Structure 1
Amino acid sequence: MTYVDPSAGLIAVELQQLANFADQWDLYDASVDGDHPMPHFYTWARHGNWWGSGATLKQLHQLAKGHGIPVAWVPPADVIRELVRAGESHNAKLAVLESNEEKIRTACRREAPDDLEGWTYDYPEAAGYVLAAWDDGHLLAAGCLALAAAEDLMFHVAQVERSRYRMYEKLKKRAGLAPSPLWWPHEQVVLAPIEPLFSDYFPEKNDPLPQNLSRHAVLHRLPLEHLSPGHCIVAIMLMVSLLREMEQRMLEAQIEAWHDSGGDMEEDEGYEPAD
């Protein structure tokens, strides 16, 4: 096909228009259609790293919800394309991650916040230790630390209160929602890998290990065969994806506060929607 941007020339869009445009943008495959600049409105409905992957929202959500593979913010478009085209088995998906480890590690380092200012938690610093361990070849250690760091991030990003009363059930329910085509669907895809992460697993009942990366298996039994290189990469991607989403929301809150104080964003020539 020949790619044509349906939003070209527009300076404003309505939600239904944006949803329709996004469905058309999903069809753009850079490996077939060549390089094209990202539309101005693209990141209002999709994550910038999806641009040119040729993956639909349904396919992206299935990777996240069905296989627990984070697709928001981190994996490059060509890796997403490979994940979609790979076989349906979970091991086939993990093989794609393992064969693209260096690309994913580079993407994680690019998206992880490196400025500690404005953070009230140690998440960015913890991410730095995770990526340093990965750089040094300690993928297993990096994956375990990333999974531990990601848990608190999940509750913050999902906006679920940490309490003794069914908090994991509430977290799974929030993460399991289907993305709405009209109301910022890309934000729900950020949460989708959380649901399979909390699959039921009771080692005292001799349950078989879950196929997807399992928080319960790692923290309650620590089976090393479950912590494959692919699952360790998944854990790190999840941590970075959630951290980057949290950073984005902090930025949006700052911009909103600046507007409320009487600022005019049009005067800030450096502002553009984040990728």
Structure 2
Amino acid sequence: MGEVEGPDESEDAGFAGLVDLSGFYAAVFKPFQDYVRNQNAWIGEMLAESAVVRMRPVLPRVVVDSHLIRMDAMTENLRRQIADLTGFNDMVRQALGPLAATYRTTQWHRVFASLGDITKGFYPENLRDVTPGLDDLETLLVDEGIPLMWVPGPPTVRALLEAPDAATRRRIIGRRWKGVVNDCETVLEEVHHPAVEDARSFALDVVHALRAGHTSAAQALAANLLDSILQRLDKTVRVQLTQNDFKAKGIKFKLDDHKFKVACTFAPVWYAHAKYFPQKGDPIPKTFGRHPSAHGVSRTQYSRINAVYALMLVTSVIKFFDTEPPGRR
């Protein structure tokens, strides 16, 4: 995202003077650029010639024959190009030899290990093996309101990413609800910050209510708990993260406007705050929402799957406050 924190400048000095790659660039990338440039020119010429041959019925015989002769020559040229490419591959392999030897040194192991640690730091534990891209995150978090931060577990995350559409993803949550509830309990048990100790306790009550079959009570508690947790945010920030005007103005939550963990944690929270005005005749939504949970109590809004969504939301937000101390948000 636009504000992702990078390594301290003091760490950059550790990279200086490790390896001089200028020779590697001169041996590999410069010749490769020349090679690609020559191939592009040759392919363009071949395509032009093939177009002439396809127009054979409408061109004079002498023109067509001359181009056919040239096509024969180009076929031979293609054979030579393939041979050249084989030689080029050998050259690349030889040039990569010193770099591979350098990579095997201890200092390069440290460099790449550090880069790996930085990448892992962006993702919570449940996403580190699947590392979804920005398009995936926007679809699931913003467009569908599915929490992904810390919960659910990796197998469910992978199934969600591989699913073809929103309806399938919702069915996956519905079928795996027991496993998702277990995932939430596991994460909540790891929460230790005193500031969210009470919230953690109430979230575990949601877990127990769901397991006991009290889905309506679970959803009501989770929805109100979410609202209570959000009160700890500065009012301006809270409004920014929950002001869902998509229905009226088509304005989406922008992941790029926030740091990575903030964006991914609160995008589904934003989704759950879609405007709902029963006095205006708004239909009660079937997907979980904070407002219809409070003002549209019905069999349409209250369901086991919506209670699971609500539990996932409060678990993500509680874990966020457990891991992100004040001043880093």
TM-score normalised by structure 2 residue count: 0.57
1:191 aligns with 2:266: yes
Structure 1 residue 113, shift from structure 2 partner: 4.2
Structure 1 residue 71, shift from structure 2 partner: 0.7
Q: What do residues 200-226 of structure 1 show as CA deviations (whole Å, max 9, x unaligned)?
A: 211122212235322111101212222
Conserved? CA contact 1:155–1:162, under 8 Å: no
Name which of 159, 171, 187 aligns with 1:82: 159
How far apart, CA to CA, are the structure 1 residues paired with 2:216 and 2:140? 22
Q: List aligned pairs for 1:55-94, cutoff 5 A.
A: 55-89=132-166, 91-94=167-170
Corresponding position of 2:101: none
Change (3 A) 1:84 1:45: same
Conserved? CA contact 1:160–1:171, under 8 Å: no
1:242 aligns with 2:317: yes
Conserved? CA contact 2:151–2:316, under 8 Å: yes
Change (3 A) 1:232 1:117: closer
Q: What do residues 219-267 of structure 1 show as CA deviations (whole Å, max 9, x unaligned)?
A: 01212222222211100000111011111124x88xx9xxxxxxxxxxx
How far apart, CA to CA, are the structure 2 residues paired with 1:221 and 1:80? 30
Corresponding position of 2:299: 224
Corresponding position of 2:235: 161
Corresponding position of 1:143: 219
1:9 aligns with 2:85: no
Q: What do residues 166-199 of structure 1 show as CA deviations (whole Å, max 9, x unaligned)?
A: x6466327x9653349x74233100001222121
Corresponding position of 1:172: 243
How far apart, CA to CA, are the structure 1 residues paired with 2:174 and 2:185? 17
- CA root-mean-square deviation: 3.3
Q: What do residues 128-178 of structure 1 show as CA deviations (whole Å, max 9, x unaligned)?
A: 21122123232332122111101122343xx33289xxx6466327x9653
Unpaired runs of 5+ in structure 1? Answer: 1-6, 19-38, 257-275
How far apart, CA to CA, are the structure 2 residues paired with 1:47 and 1:97? 20
Name which of 203, 207, 225 aligns with 1:131: 207
How far apart, CA to CA, are the structure 2 residues paired with 1:72 and 1:50? 8
How far apart, CA to CA, are the structure 2 residues paired with 1:10 and 1:44? 15
Q: SS at 2:284's partner residue?
A: coil
Conserved? CA contact 1:83–1:96, under 8 Å: yes
Greater per-residue helix proportion: 2
| Letter aligned with residue 243 of structure 2 | K
1:122 aligns with 2:198: yes
Corresponding position of 1:204: 279
How far apart, CA to CA, are the structure 2 residues paired with 1:66 and 1:243? 22
Identity rate, percent: 20
Conserved? CA contact 1:179–1:186, under 8 Å: no
Structure 1 residue 52, shift from structure 2 partner: 2.2
Q: List aligned pairs for 1:33-72, cutoff 5 A.
A: 39-53=116-130, 55-72=132-149
Conserved? CA contact 1:53–1:77, under 8 Å: yes
1:102 aligns with 2:173: no
Change (3 A) 1:230 1:115: closer
Change (3 A) 1:8 1:229: farther
Corresponding position of 1:261: none
How far apart, CA to CA, are the structure 2 residues paired with 1:114 and 1:125? 12
In the alignment of these two chains, the number of paired residues is 216
Conserved? CA contact 1:76–1:107, under 8 Å: yes
Corresponding position of 1:259: none
How far apart, CA to CA, are the structure 1 residues paired with 2:254 and 2:109? 29
TM-score normalised by structure 1 residue count: 0.67
Structure 1 residue 60, shift from structure 2 partner: 2.1
| Letter aligned with residue 171 of structure 2 | A
Change (3 A) 1:8 1:125: same
Structure 1 residue 42, shift from structure 2 partner: 3.5
Structure 1 residue 69, shift from structure 2 partner: 1.2
